[in-house]
Amino acid sequence: MGLLSGLGRSADPPSPERLRTPVHAAGAVLWRPAERGGRAGAGAGIEVALVHRPKYDDWSLPKGKVESGEHAAAAAVREVGEETGFACALGRELGVQSYAVGERLKLVRYWAAEARGGRFTANREVDRIAWLSPDDAGTLMSYGRDVQLLVSLTSRPHATAPVIVLRHCGAVARTSHRDGDADRPLTAAGRLQAAALGDILAAYGPAAVLSSPSLRCLESVDPYCRRAGVAVEVVPALSEEGHADRPDAAGELLKVLVAQSAPVIICTHRPVLPSLLRSVGRAGQPGRDPNELLLPGEFLALHTAAGVVVAADRHAPYPTER
């Protein structure tokens, strides 16, 4: 039996009275290279983790509720760690599940996640873990909805490196700042956004950091740099002034970084974004405001493999419409 073997087992859709304030949760398809090379076909060479929950006597993917003020990406990494004992780095987002739990609608966001070491220890919620080929995992899964996430994982490269393009967080307005534009700091709200970004960006694993020399960009990546223990590399071409002098330089840099397919965070400004993203074919990313590719503090995670962008996810350090 293959990946689609469990898709027929689905729950009835929730009735309208159940569609109250939803419960938000996050999880991941945790994968690692197969110890013996794995089987041929979709997902060849990898194993994925399923957890057994004695309370429900089911086999499912690691997941759990998002805590108050927590971003779903950070929650996915935390829940994987709590349920499996493994650290992980997120890859591309795989989709959102919705189903009824009692009288509540539950929304669960899932990512691909590469295991980065750890060891399982049985706990109150999970008493067993199984590392299986995607086909075998699809057969064992208790819920048909989970099988589609395996299909999403194996339909495109599972091993990706994030090239993250970040627009700096909320900054003091130009009109209210007397010093030079490059010295404009973040607002109080912007500093809170930057602090939240430190946890969210860490979910993608260690990454180099490149930034415009402008203070608002440096302050935006500082919490992540402190947490990850990395130094920021200042790149004048990512500044508004540098972009005005050399409009193609930032885009050429991004093309090189994508070709290298190594984890990196790039912090820049709104005027730089169109040409920057156009260089890798992402200028048409949908946004809530057609004039804003990214809002302050938002980032686009470009998931790269073999030197090309295979997927892109957009995230913000505050609640957004999805």
pLDDT digits (tens, 9 = 90+) for 175-186: 776 777 889 999
**Using an 8 Å Cβ cutoff, are 262 and 160 in contact?**
no
**Using an 8 Å Cβ cutoff, are 110 and 149 in contact?**
yes
Q: Is pLDDT of 62 > 90? A: yes
Chain centroid to Cα 187, Å, comes to: 25
Distance CA 2, CA 17 (A): 36
| Neighbour-count burial for 142-180, b at 16+ CB within 10 Å, e otherwise | ebbbbbbbbbbbbeebbebbbbbbbbbbbbbeeeeeeee
- Residue holding tokens 């989709």? 95
| Whole-number pLDDT of residue 291 | 55
| Whole-number pLDDT of residue 215 | 97
Q: Where in the chain is the domain with CATH 3.40.50.1240?
A: 161-315
3-state secondary structure of 264: strand
| Whole-number pLDDT of residue 207 | 98
Q: What is the pLDDT of residues 191-203, one digit of tens each?
A: 999 999 999 999 9
| Whole-number pLDDT of residue 288 | 54
Distance CA 300, CA 278 (A): 13
Task: Give the confidence band of 12 by pLDDT, cuts at 50, 70, 90.
Answer: low
Amino acid in the structure at residue 161:
A
Task: Give the confidence band of 277 by pLDDT, cuts at 50, 70, 90.
Answer: very high
Candidates 3.40.50.720, 3.90.79.10, 3.75.10.10, 1.10.10.10; CATH matching 3-154: 3.90.79.10
Q: Where in the chain is the domain with CATH 3.90.79.10?
A: 3-154
Q: What is the pLDDT of residues 226-251, one digit of tens each?
A: 999 999 999 999 999 999 999 999 99
Task: Give the confidence band of 4 by pLDDT, cuts at 50, 70, 90.
Answer: very low
Query: 1-15, 84-98, 217-231 — which is least confidently predicted?
Result: 1-15
Query: CA distances (Å), 309 to each of 19, 102, 278, 283, in order?
Result: 36, 40, 12, 13
CATH assignment, 161-315: 3.40.50.1240
End-to-end Cα, the chain, rounded Å = 35
Distance CA 127, CA 113 (A): 21
